[in-house]
Amino acid sequence: MAAEVRPRLTVLSGPSGVGKSTVVAHMRKVHPEVWLSVSATTRKPRPGEKHGVHYFFVADDEFDKLIANGELLEWAEFAGNRYGTPRGAVLDRLDAGEPVLLEIDLQGARQVKDSMPESQLVFLAPPSWEELVRRLTGRGTESPEVIERRLDAAKVELAAESEFDTTLVNTSVEDVARELLTLMHVV
């Protein structure tokens, strides 16, 4: 029997609207043992989101304390809100030999790569720019100003694809989830 390999931290990133959450939800339905880090955010909950499940919803001053105490592996500001990954929980899971997945933005992926160079960065790309625009405008949850900011950010994020170890194109949620699990050595 081969010696067990300590799992690498896997970071999934890509432009807003590319389907990261959908892929991760499908993947975790099939393989619930993959631990997905829950981010802290200063954003208000969307309908149906639960504290501690989708995000840790925190006030600005609480977020400031997390940064000051070095408790975040990465953090970024996006669309007027801050998001961050609690460091301790990620390291605990990796030390326990569990596969860990972070679903974060480009800024966060860069910060993780700086602090944990052994991590694996996976870029989730849309099938086309037109499809990404359709997904972002079709949500119906954001104002035109926020959508415009997300589209501008998406252009920057798409240009950073070469910084990642692997690119997966989201043409099929099932296929991408399977490819991601293979990269994480879960299947």
Q: Which residues participate in the annotated binding site for ATP?
A: 14-21
SS3 103: strand
> Which residue is listed with tokens 């991408």?
176
Residue numbers in the known binding site are 14-21
Classified as helix, coil or strand, 65 is: helix
Reduce the DSSP state of residue 29 to 3 states and report it: helix
How far, in Å, CA of 51 to CA of 184, rounded?
A: 27
**Residue 20 structure tokens:** 């990261």
Contact by Cβ (8 Å): 118, 8: yes
